[in-house]
Amino acid sequence: MTSSFAELSGQLANVVEQAAPFVVSVAAHPRHAASGLQWQPGVVVTVEHPLRQANAAEVLLADGRTVMGKVAGRDATLGVAVLRVEDAAGAGVVTTSAPVRAGNLTVTVGRGRQGNVTASMGIVSSVARAFQTWQGGVVDPLVQLDYSLYPSANGGAVVDASGMVVGLATSGFTRYGASAIPAAVLERVVATVLEKGFVPRAFLGVGLRPVLLPRSMAEQLEGAPESALLLLSVEPGSAAARAGLQVGDILCALDGSPTREPEDVQNKLTPERIGAALAAVVLRGGQRLDVVLTVGEKEQ
Amino acid sequence: MQLGDLGERLRRATVQVRAAEGNGCGSGVITGSMGYIVTNAHVVQGKNPVIELWDGRRFPGRLLALGRRHDLALVKVDTLGLPALEFGDSNALRPGAMVLAVGNPLGFTGALSMGVVHTVGPLRGLGENRWVQADVRLAPGNSGGPLADAQGRVVGINTMIARGLALAIPSNVVADFVTRARSKAA
């Protein structure tokens, strides 16, 4: 008996089978196994959380072999770790950068501790532009899923209806459901980690909190903003200290845009901006002050 | 076959199993045309249950066999020609394949839920037994009911929920139990 429903079922299982050879199990923690993606020959990408205390983990490959993976580096802002697995010489996963839309069907393929392939299915619940993680990482776009992951499927492959890998499954970003870190973001993380051993983070060295501006102060500024950011701390030797910023200064604009929330500053601090000069507008003692900040790099 | 038709076929072959005493109510699957019904041992609680069909008809059931190792029970009602389901091959299940669960969760009759096979195998902490682990929403009352594949074949008997996953006894284990229980009963 053939039927459209039976065909759909068969196609879904085919999609899982197509992705499974690239999905490994990472025994990162005595209790929690995660999944991982064989990204390129000898390199596995996985979620960082279970590896926080470890520099190496056993990796169970799709062909049944258990090999050692060494942590090559991590991007803590995205919760991603990159492992070097020399014995995993097989080809890397086939990814797609085709746009994903809310409502698209996705399957998350993981691998359990015993080597068994696992699958969950659902739809894309939203595609969020330039999502910022609470550690300051930017995922663009963040593909949110309407289903949650079983713990071992964290780090598995989020696969579209054609069997192509959209991204890495993680439940680290949102309280409910799960998300996919897109392949393009992973590509960048892997390239940086393999080159440097870490992902550099831009850093100014200031502690900030939003404050309301009195009208008299606001009127000195473009757009007369109602609020800005008070400097609560300035780290010695940091970019902010070198530019002469002091505790008590109020940061009102950075790189031409108003700074009302700490996120407005964080958004400017992408890794590409390390070493770049950013114009800042500051109020000190009620007087406007224009300074130039040279973006620093956070020490690892 | 359309999903709705498939669901209807499954619902008509799924029964409510009421333990003779107490309020316990689970589900069961009609197998074959001779009035045999397979369910969980924990649903019948060792007694002859009352069987209620999809259309509301009730029959006294006779408990023929208990398979405690796998939590299975075989019950018979003295009525011929009830709508029955076939068993599929649980060893051939693939992760990602679609499955349907029918049962009587939380007092609903013939409720249907859909999902995919998550994996097939043992679950940590639950011994050696193999389970069809499905990403399907179950509730108390689904116990003993069918987990069916996209062709409407029973691939498991829904038995419990663990960490949000539906756990079903693989149909190959169930079919084996039914064959042995029937040959003993005959």
The answer to whether residue B42 is catalytic is yes
Mean pLDDT lowest for which of A132-141, A225-234, B3-12, B91-100?
A: A132-141
What's the sign of the alpha-carbon dihedral A46, A49, A55, A61? negative
The answer to whether residue B143 is catalytic is yes
Question: Which tops the pLDDT comparison, A300 or A293?
Answer: A293
pLDDT at residue A1 is higher than 50: no
Q: How far apart are the first and last CA of chain A?
A: 61
CATH superfamily, region B90-171: Trypsin-like serine proteases (2.40.10.10)
Record: contact A118-B116, CB cut-off 8 A? no
Percent of chain A with pLDDT over 70: 99
Q: Is A68 helix (H, G, I), strand (E, B) or coil?
A: strand
Using alpha carbons only, give the angle B14, B20, B21 rounded to the nearest 5 degrees. Answer: 130
Is B3-84+175-185's fold the same as B90-171's? yes
Closest partner residue to A150 (CB to CB) among B2, B3, B165 is B165
A34 CB-near residues (< 8 Å, 6+ apart):
A25, A26, A28, A46, A47, A49, A50, A151, A152, A154, A155
Q: How far apart are CA A265 and CA A41, in angstroms?
A: 38
Q: How confident is the model at residue A220 (pLDDT cuts 50, 70, 90)?
A: confident
Q: How far is CA A9 from the centre of its chain?
A: 32
Domains of chain A: 1-194 (2.40.10.120), 202-297 (2.30.42.10)
Token pair for A129:
């532009």
ipTM over 0.90: no
Report the 3 state secondary structure along A11-76. HHHHHHHHHHHHEEEEECCCCCCEEEEEEECCEEEEECHHHCCCCEEEEECCCCCEEEEEEEEEEC
Q: Looking at residue A288, what is its pLDDT?
A: 93
Instruction: Give mean pLDDT, residues A46-51.
Output: 91
A121 contacts in chain B (CB < 8 Å): 96, 115-116, 135
Q: How far apart are CA B75 and CA A35, in angstroms?
A: 43
pLDDT at residue A2 is higher than 60: no
Nearest-by-CA chain B residue for A122: B115
Give the helix ranges, DSSP H, for A133-228: 183-196, 215-218
B95 contacts in chain A (CB < 8 Å): 13, 16, 20, 109, 116-119
Q: How confident is the model at residue A3 (pLDDT cuts 50, 70, 90)?
A: low
B7 contacts in chain A (CB < 8 Å): none
Give the burial class of B38: count Cβ atoms within 10 A of its Cβ; 0-12 exposed, 13-18 middle, 19 or more buried.
Answer: buried
B95 CB-near residues (< 8 Å, 6+ apart):
A13, A16, A20, A109, A116, A117, A118, A119, B116, B117, B118, B119, B120
B37 CB-near residues (< 8 Å, 6+ apart):
B15, B17, B28, B29, B30, B31, B51, B61, B74, B75, B76, B77
Q: Looking at residue B23, what is its pLDDT?
A: 62
Each domain of chain B, given as residue ranges in start order, spans 3-84+175-185, 90-171
Q: How far apart are CA A199 and CA A181, in angstroms?
A: 16
Q: How far apart are CA A145 and CA A170, in angstroms?
A: 10
Record: contact A121-B116, CB cut-off 8 A? yes
pLDDT along chain B (186 residues), means of 10: 89 91 83 95 92 93 93 96 96 96 84 94 87 92 95 96 92 96 82
For residue B47, give how far its alpha carbon lies from the nearest alpha carbon of chain A (Å).
Answer: 37
Closest partner residue to A9 (CB to CB) among B97, B120, B122 is B97
Q: How far apart are CA A288 and CA A282, in angstroms?
A: 6
Q: Looking at residue B12, what is its pLDDT?
A: 95
Model pLDDT for residues A9-26, shown as the tens digit of each residue = 999 999 999 999 999 999
Q: How far apart are CA A259 and CA B134, in angstroms?
A: 49
Interface of A with B (CB under 8 A): 1, 3-6, 8-10, 12-17, 20, 107, 109, 112-114, 116-121, 147-148, 150
Instruction: Give mean pLDDT, residues A120-144.
Output: 87
Instruction: Give mean pLDDT, residues A293-300.
Output: 88
A18 CB-near residues (< 8 Å, 6+ apart):
A159, A163
**CB A229 within 8 Å of CB A208:** yes
DSSP state of A3: -
Instruction: Give mean pLDDT, residues A42-63.
Output: 92
Mean pLDDT lowest for which of A88-97, A154-163, B148-157?
A: A88-97
The verdict on B1 touching A (C-beta cutoff 8 Å) is: yes
Assigned fold of B3-84+175-185: Thrombin, subunit H (2.40.10)
